[in-house]
């Protein structure tokens, strides 16, 4: 059984991005109510580990604080607003930043000059706390990164921060009272903001990530206590609920995994990823009639976000479930026929199914829909290769 998980910058695919659309979505009504206390199993997990308090995530050492304060108060930076000073400080300090998947708190991020997008966001939050600068958090769509680690299939999610001056002086050096700067190690070109993230969810993300990192290392007890902390902060955090279900699946507690998924589904709202994983669980436990019912519900699901269908299709393609992949690529193309990614995915699936003519036709649409020169060149090369293979 493949368990699908997502982390930030690893982020669990189970979560895929909680973007509410403007379309009407049919809800799956759970047949059995599950209370929150039923999804925790402390008795299976041994003694609790010590997890950091939320305030510790943003704590900097005295030396780190002083270094930043000296920079902010430097006479050379007087012409800059405080948000601009934070941006410049991060640019200078993290010029050789080592971006990787491990999640670190603010102090560790500054000391080791490394971390992921959430680590950078935590450090940015720590710096705003030393000034009057405001901050908000955003989930952004970036090119997906897929990894497989220790039986977990991982997909990327991306978070960034926006900082702004809450208090300004009426002097010429300030451009406006609401100047906003995006702090992100991705270029904003080609990315789009999916939704704002409430601060409680942002805090919970740290513990969610640490749980996933623990699972990758087969430390399921540690993962459990991290994810329980995430749900203590935000009890309806679907990403964390999904991660908890994966933990139970990995230790063979299928009943607890099912209870956890049903608990998540009971919140309503965006259910696509929960339904997808619930279907996988039902198939794995050979409850095929129930699995078929959930599969039909997924088919009826009218989520308007094409990227969610695209993400599911990509996972099925990597799992060599080519017909299922085609099904979900078609869903994505129906939601946004102008995108090139669904047709490129269809071309791959058709090719593996031996339907070479359809593969070429799908790739031709991908080429027509692609407006970036580099991507068009890649598709054209694949198109040429398919034609050559058919000719031989």
In a domain, 297, yes or no: no
In a domain, 290, yes or no: no
Residue at which a domain ends, from 250, 270, 290: 270
114-115/192-197 β-pairing:
unpaired
Residue holding tokens 């992921």? 116
Q: How many CA atoms lie within 13 A of 152 on its CB side?
A: 29
This prediction has a pTM of 0.78
Clarify whether residues 115 and 190 are in a common domain. yes
pLDDT band at 144 (very low <50, low <70, confident <90, very high): low
pLDDT tens column, 341-361? 899 999 999 999 999 899 999
Clarify whether residues 52 and 187 are in a common domain. yes
259 vs 134: CA distance, rounded Å: 40
3-7/146-149 β-pairing:
unpaired
pLDDT tens column, 231-289? 999 999 988 999 999 999 999 999 999 999 999 999 877 778 888 889 889 988 899 89
4 vs 218: CA distance, rounded Å: 15
Q: Rounded to the nearest 10 degrees, what angle do helices 306-318 and 272-284 cross at?
A: 30
Query: Which strands form 192-197's sheet, in the order they lie side by side?
Result: 180-183, 158-165, 133-141, 192-197
Clarify whether residues 238 and 136 are in a common domain. yes
Residue at which a domain ends, from 243, 270, 297: 270
Measured in whole angstroms, the distance separating CA 33 from the mean position of its chain's CA atoms is 28
28 vs 17: CA distance, rounded Å: 19
In a domain, 71, yes or no: yes
In a domain, 182, yes or no: yes
pLDDT tens column, 12-49? 344 433 333 334 456 777 777 888 889 999 999 989 99
Contacts of 29 (CB under 8 A, 6+ apart): none
182 vs 323: CA distance, rounded Å: 41
Clarify whether residues 316 and 181 are in a common domain. no
Please say whether the beta carbons of 281 and 246 come within 8 A.
no
Residue 4 pLDDT > 50: no
Residue 277: CB atoms within 10 A of its CB come to 23
Q: How many CA atoms lie within 13 A of 203 on its CB side?
A: 20
Domain encompassing residue 345: 305-391
Clarify whether residues 146 and 13 are in a common domain. yes
Region 111-122: mean pLDDT is: 91
In a domain, 54, yes or no: yes
Clarify whether residues 165 and 114 are in a common domain. yes
152 vs 12: CA distance, rounded Å: 9
Please say whether the beta carbons of 353 and 340 come within 8 A.
no
Clarify whether residues 236 and 312 are in a common domain. no
Clarify whether residues 31 and 138 are in a common domain. yes
Clarify whether residues 135 and 41 are in a common domain. yes
Give the CATH number of the domain where residue 330 resides: 1.25.40.10
In a domain, 298, yes or no: no
In a domain, 387, yes or no: yes
Contacts of 202 (CB under 8 A, 6+ apart): 121, 137, 159
In a domain, 286, yes or no: no
Residue 75 pLDDT > 90: yes
Clarify whether residues 172 and 93 are in a common domain. yes
Q: Of the ranges 12-26, 137-151, 202-216, which one carries the lowest mean pLDDT score? A: 12-26
Clarify whether residues 168 and 246 are in a common domain. yes
Count of the separate structural domains present in the chain: 2
Region 108-135: mean pLDDT is: 94
Clarify whether residues 220 and 323 are in a common domain. no
């Amino acid at each position: 059984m493949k368990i699908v998980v997502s982390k930030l910058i690893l982020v669990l695919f189970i979560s895929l991005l909680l973007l509410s659309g403007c379309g009407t979505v049919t809800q799956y009504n759970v047949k059995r109510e599950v209370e929150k206390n039923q999804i925790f199993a402390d008795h299976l997990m041994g003694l609790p580990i010590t997890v950091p308090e939320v305030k510790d995530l943003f704590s900097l050492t005295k030396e780190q604080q002083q270094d930043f304060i000296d920079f902010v108060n430097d006479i050379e930076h007087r012409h800059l607003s405080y948000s601009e000073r934070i941006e410049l400080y991060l640019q200078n300090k993290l010029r050789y930043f080592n971006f990787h998947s491990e999640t670190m708190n603010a102090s560790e991020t500054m000391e080791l000059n490394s971390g992921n997008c959430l680590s950078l966001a935590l450090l940015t939050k720590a710096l705003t706390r030393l000034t009057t600068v405001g901050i908000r958090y955003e989930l952004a769509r970036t090119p997906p990164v897929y990894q497989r680690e220790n039986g977990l299939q991982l997909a990327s999610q991306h978070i960034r921060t926006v900082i702004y001056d809450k208090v300004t002086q009426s002097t010429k050096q300030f451009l406006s009272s609401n100047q906003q700067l995006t702090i992100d190690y991705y270029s904003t070109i080609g990315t789009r903001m999916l939704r704002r993230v409430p601060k409680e969810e942002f805090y919970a993300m740290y513990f969610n990530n640490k749980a996933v990192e623990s699972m990758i290392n087969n430390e399921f007890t540690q993962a459990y206590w991290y994810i329980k902390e995430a749900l203590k902060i935000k009890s309806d955090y679907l990403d964390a609920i999904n991660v908890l279900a994966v933990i139970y699946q990995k230790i063979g507690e299928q009943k607890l995994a099912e209870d956890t998924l049903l608990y998540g589904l009971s919140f309503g709202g965006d259910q696509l990823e929960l339904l997808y994983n619930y279907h996988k669980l039902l198939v794995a436990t050979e409850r095929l009639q129930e699995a078929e019912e959930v599969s039909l519900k997924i088919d009826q699901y009218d989520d308007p976000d094409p990227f969610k269908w695209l993400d599911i299709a990509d996972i099925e393609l990597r799992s060599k479930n080519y017909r299922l992949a085609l099904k979900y690529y078609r869903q994505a193309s129906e939601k946004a026929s102008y995108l090139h990614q669904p047709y490129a995915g269809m071309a791959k699936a058709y090719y593996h199914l031996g339907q070479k003519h359809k593969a070429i036709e799908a790739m031709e649409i991908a080429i027509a829909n692609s407006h970036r020169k580099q991507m068009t060149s890649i598709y054209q090369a694949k198109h040429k290769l398919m034609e050559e293979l058919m000719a031989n």
